[in-house]
């Protein structure tokens, strides 16, 4: 899987911490959209889809959650529990997000505007596409 964790430099001083996200410096794509997921109810699992053509960077800016990534062959679980790391998502990857802490704010940067036709929401269709 090409997905990977990116560590961000902290611009810290006596007042506290600051992280800047910039195209090409620590975000490997042109940012067209930012959305965030918060107030996720206990026990909820989200996602259950892949994308045909979308790069994203997921950052848990508060609290924690987990990502299950599945490339059709193997599965990996990533824990996002600090605002200093981002999970880069690209390629044909099935994703599920779970174990959201009550205070979790999951921010996601994307390289394209929202487009429902880019989603593969059926797991069998996803597997067929992986193997085609
Ligand atoms: C992804 C994972 C990590 C919009 O109107 N605009 C948007 O930019 C997004 C992302 C969603 N929506 C609407 C579509 C649905 O009516 O918001 C509602 C919830 O979206 P969805 O069920 O797709 O949310 P998740 O948490 O399952 O998945 C989201 C992203 O959609 C997806 O691209 O990779 O987070």
Nearest atom within ligand 1 for CA of residue 97: 3
pLDDT digits (tens, 9 = 90+) for 50-80: 999 999 999 999 999 999 999 999 999 999 9
Catalytic residues: 49
Q: Which residue in this structure is represented by tokens 């390289």?
A: 111
Tokens at 68, concatenated? 């299950």
Helix H or strand E encompassing 64: none
- Asked if 14 and 1 touch (Cβ cutoff 8 Å), the reply is no
Does the beta carbon of 35 sit less than 6 angstroms from any atom of ligand 1?
yes
Tell me the CA–centroid distance for residue 62 and ligand 1, in Å.
Answer: 19
Q: Which residues have C-beta within 8 Å of that of residue 15, sequence separation ≥ 6?
A: none
Beta bridge partners of 27: 23
Q: What is the pTM of this model?
A: 0.96
End-to-end Cα spacing for the chain: 17
Does the beta carbon of 66 sit less than 6 angstroms from any atom of ligand 1?
no
Is 90 exceeded by the pLDDT of residue 2?
no
Does the beta carbon of 3 sit less than 6 angstroms from any atom of ligand 1?
no
């Amino acid at each position: 899987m090409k997905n990977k964790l990116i560590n961000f430099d902290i611009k810290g001083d006596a007042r506290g911490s600051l992280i800047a996200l910039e195209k090409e410096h620590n975000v490997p794509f042109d940012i067209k959209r930012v959305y965030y997921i918060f107030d996720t109810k206990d026990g909820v699992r989200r996602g259950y889809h892949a994308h045909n053509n979308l790069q994203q960077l997921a950052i848990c800016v508060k609290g924690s959650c987990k990502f299950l990534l599945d490339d059709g062959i193997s599965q990996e679980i990533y824990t996002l529990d600090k605002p200093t790391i981002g999970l880069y998502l690209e390629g044909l990857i099935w994703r599920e997000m779970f174990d959201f802490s009550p205070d979790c704010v999951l921010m996601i940067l994307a390289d394209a505007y929202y487009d429902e036709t880019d989603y593969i929401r059926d797991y069998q269709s996803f597997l067929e596409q992986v193997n085609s």
